[in-house]
C-alpha cells in the first residue's frame, strides 16, 4: 500500500512543493517549520525560475498562479563591467518551444503562494531535533518535546539540515564554502528606462566581482552583487554601512549599476556566504523511511539559478512516487535514481561557473571576456539548455 501519512520537515520551496503534491494525491501530510514566520532569506530577495522549474510547477497546476506574480524573462544578457555585451540569449523562443517560460519573482510571493496552496497542514514555530524509525513507522522529535509519527519523513530543512545530520548519526561534512558572498536586495526603481523588463543581466567584472540584476515588476529591481573573498577583505565594514560599501565597490561600473545601488536602502541588503555540498556517491539521500530533498540533499551555488528549481522538481517527483508506488523502499530508490545524476551535474556546473567569477587579474578577465564572446552565445547556451531540460518524469 502506498504511503498514508507523511511528515515534512521545513516549509521552504522544496518541502511545500512535496506537501502540495502529497496532499493532492490524498496523503495525510503535516509540515513542520521551525520559524514562526517566513525567514528573511525566504522573503528578502528575488530570484529566477527557469523553464524546467515551470514544467514541474505545471504538473501540480501551480504554473498559472506563479505566472501571475512573476515577470517573464525573454533575454539573458552577459556583459562586462564596462557594459559591453558578451552574449545575449533569446529565451522567448525557447519558452515557446518548451511550453514553459523562465520567470523572475520575489521569493516572498512564491513562498506565500505555496504556503497558501499547502493550507492548514503547515505547523509554524516547531523545530525538528531528531527522529527514530522502526519497521512500522518513523517518529519526528521536536524542540518543544512533542512528537509526530508517520509512514515517511521528508527532510526538506535546507543546507544545514538536522534531518540529514541525524540520518548520518551526526557524521556529516559541513557545507563547502565557495569563497564568495552574494549581497542581495530589491531596489525601488520605477520606470523602464534604467532597467528594462524582460532581461536578466549577468555582469562579469575584474577583481572577483560580478553583478546580476533584473526587473521584477514596474516598481522593483532585484540584484545580487557577488564579491569574492579577495574583494571582500578590502571592504571597510566597521566604518561604512553595506550600501555605502557596495556603492564604492561598484562606483566605476557602467550605468545602471551605480543607479541601482543608489536606489537601494541599506537595510534591504542581505549578504549571504555561498556554499554547496559536493556530490559524493557514498552518501545516499535516504535511509529506510527518511528521505532528503532540496538543499538538504544537494545544496548548490547560485550560478545556474537552479537550487529552487531542483527543490521543486524533487518535490514533484518524490510526492508522485510516494503516492503511487505501493512499496516505500522502491519509491525512494526510484527517486534517487531519477534525481541524483541530474542534480549532481548541476552542483558541479554551478561550482565551476563560480570559480570563473573569482578571477582577479585584468589579463585573465580579458581572456574570459573573449571566451564568453566566442562561446557563450552558442555552446554555453546549448549546454545549459541540455542540462536544464534533461529530465524524465
Ligand atoms: C543569493 C541566492 C540566490 C539564489 N538564486 C536562485 C535562483 O535565482 N533560482 C533558483 O532556483 N535558486 C536560487 N537560489 C537557491 C535557492 O534559494 C535554494 O536552493 C532553495 O531555497 C532551496 O529550497 P529548500 O526548500 O530545499 O530549502 P530552504 O529554502 O532553505 O528551506 C528550508 C526550510 O526548512 C526550515 N528548517 C530548517 N531546519 C529546520 C528544523 N530543524 N525544523 C523545522 N524546520 C527547519 C527553514 O527555516 C526553511 O524554511 C539562490 C540562493 C541564494 C543564496
For the stretch 325-339, pLDDT in tens is 999 999 999 999 999
Nearest CA to ligand 1 atom 41: 128
pLDDT at 2: 86
Distance in Å, CA 295 to ligand 1 centroid: 6
pLDDT score of 179 more than 60: yes
What is the average pLDDT value for the chain, to the nearest integer? 94
Cell of 174: 559541513
Q: CA-to-CA distance for 67 and 122, rounded, in angstroms?
A: 24
Pick the residue whose CA is nearest to atom 2 on ligand 1: 302
Q: Which atom of ligand 1 is nearest to the CA of 53?
A: 11
| 354 CB near ligand 1 (under 6 Å) | no
SS3 state of residue 202:
strand
The DSSP result for 270-334, as a single string, is EEEEEEE----TTS-SEETTEEE-THHHH---GGGS-HHHHHHHHHHHHHHHHHH-S-HHHHHHH
Q: How far is the CA of 346 from the centre of ligand 1 (A)?
A: 16
Read off the pLDDT of residues 89-103 as tens digits, 9 standing for 90 and up: 999 999 999 999 999
Q: Is 127 in the pocket of ligand 1 (CB under 6 A)?
A: yes
Q: Which residue has the cell 544537494?
A: 298
Q: Which atom of ligand 1 is nearest to the CA of 161?
A: 38
Q: Say what the pLDDT of residue 239 is.
A: 87
| CA end-to-end distance (rounded Å), the chain | 21
Q: Which of 48, 311, 342 to mutate to test the pocket of ligand 1 (most atoms within 8 A of CB)?
A: 311
CATH 3.50.50.60 fits domain 5-175+276-388: yes
Domain ranges of the chain: 5-175+276-388
DSSP secondary structure letter of residue 128: E
pLDDT over threshold 80, residue 42: no
pLDDT value of residue 119: 94
Q: Cβ(260)–Cβ(246) under 8 Å? A: no
What are φ and ψ of residue 111, in 5° steps?
-65, -45
Work out the angle at residue 59's Cα, subtended by the Cα atoms of residues 138 and 285, and round it to the nearest 5 degrees: 35
Distance 60 CA to ligand 1 centre (A): 20
Cell digits for 63?
504554473
Question: 200: Cβ below 6 Å to ligand 1?
Answer: no
pLDDT tens per residue, range 223-275: 999 999 998 888 888 888 999 999 999 999 999 999 999 999 999 999 999 99
The CA 69 to ligand 1 mean position distance, Å, reads 19
| Integer Rg of the chain from CA | 21
Read off the pLDDT of residues 279-334 as tens digits, 9 standing for 90 and up: 987 778 999 999 999 999 999 999 999 999 999 999 999 999 999 999 999 999 99
pLDDT of residue 43: 52
- pTM tops 0.85: yes
CA-proximal residue: ligand 1, atom 50 (nearest) = 302
Q: How many angstroms separate the CA atoms of 253 and 248, rounded?
A: 10
Q: Which residues pair with 132 in a beta bridge?
A: 139
Residue of 317, 310, 315, 311 whose CA lies nearest to 331: 317
The CB of 294 under 6 Å from ligand 1? The reply is yes
Query: Is residue 167 within 8 Å of residue 296, measured between CB atoms?
Result: no
Amino acid at each position: 500500500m502506498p504511503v498514508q501519512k507523511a511528515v515534512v520537515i521545513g516549509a521552504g520551496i522544496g518541502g511545500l512543493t512535496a506537501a502540495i503534491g502529497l496532499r493532492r494525491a490524498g496523503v495525510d501530510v503535516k509540515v513542520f517549520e521551525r520559524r514562526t514566520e517566513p525567514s528573511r532569506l525566504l522573503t528578502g530577495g528575488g530570484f529566477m525560475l527557469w523553464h524546467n522549474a515551470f514544467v514541474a510547477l505545471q504538473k501540480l497546476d501551480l504554473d498559472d498562479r506563479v505566472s501571475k506574480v512573476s515577470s517573464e524573462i525573454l533575454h539573458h544578457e552577459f556583459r562586462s563591467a564596462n557594459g559591453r555585451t558578451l552574449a545575449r540569449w533569446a529565451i522567448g523562443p525557447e519558452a515557446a518551444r518548451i511550453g514553459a517560460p523562465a520567470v523572475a519573482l520575489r521569493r516572498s510571493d512564491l513562498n506565500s503562494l505555496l504556503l497558501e496552496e499547502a493550507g492548514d497542514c503547515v505547523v509554524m514555530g516547531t523545530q525538528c531535533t531528531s527522529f527514530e524509525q522502526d519497521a512500522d513507522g518513523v517518529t519526528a522529535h521536536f524542540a518543544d518535546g512533542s512528537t509526530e509519527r508517520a509512514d515517511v519523513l521528508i527532510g526538506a530543512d535546507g543546507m544545514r539540515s538536522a534531518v540529514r545530520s541525524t540520518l548520518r548519526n551526526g557524521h556529516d561534512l559541513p557545507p563547502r564554502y565557495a569563497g564568495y558572498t552574494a549581497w542581495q536586495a530589491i531596489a525601488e526603481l520605477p520606470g523602464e528606462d534604467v532597467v528594462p523588463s524582460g532581461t536578466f543581466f549577468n555582469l562579469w567584472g575584474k577583481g572577483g566581482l560580478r553583478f546580476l540584476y533584473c526587473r521584477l515588476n514596474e516598481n522593483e529591481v532585484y540584484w545580487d552583487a557577488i564579491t569574492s573573498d579577495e574583494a571582500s577583505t578590502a571592504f571597510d565594514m566597521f566604518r561604512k554601512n553595506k550600501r555605502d560599501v557596495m556603492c564604492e565597490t561598484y562606483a566605476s561600473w557602467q550605468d545602471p549599476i551605480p543607479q541601482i545601488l543608489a536606489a537601494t536602502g541599506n537595510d534591504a541588503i542581505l549578504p549571504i556566504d555561498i556554499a554547496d555540498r559536493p556530490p559524493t556517491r557514498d552518501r545516499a539521500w535516504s535511509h529506510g523511511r527518511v528521505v532528503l530533498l532540496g538543499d538538504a540533499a544537494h545544496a548548490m551555488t547560485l550560478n545556474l539559478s537552479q537550487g529552487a528549481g531542483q527543490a521543486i522538481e524533487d518535490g514533484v517527483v518524490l510526492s508522485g512516487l510516494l503516492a503511487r508506488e505501493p512499496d516505500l523502499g522502491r519509491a525512494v530508490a526510484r527517486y534517487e535514481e531519477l534525481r541524483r545524476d541530474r542534480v549532481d551535474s548541476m552542483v558541479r556546473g554551478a561550482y565551476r561557473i563560480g570559480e570563473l567569477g573569482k578571477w582577479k587579474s585584468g589579463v585573465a578577465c580579458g581572456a574570459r571576456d573573449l571566451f564568453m564572446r566566442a562561446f557563450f552565445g552558442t555552446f554555453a547556451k546549448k549546454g545549459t539548455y541540455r542540462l536544464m531540460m534533461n529530465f524524465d518524469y
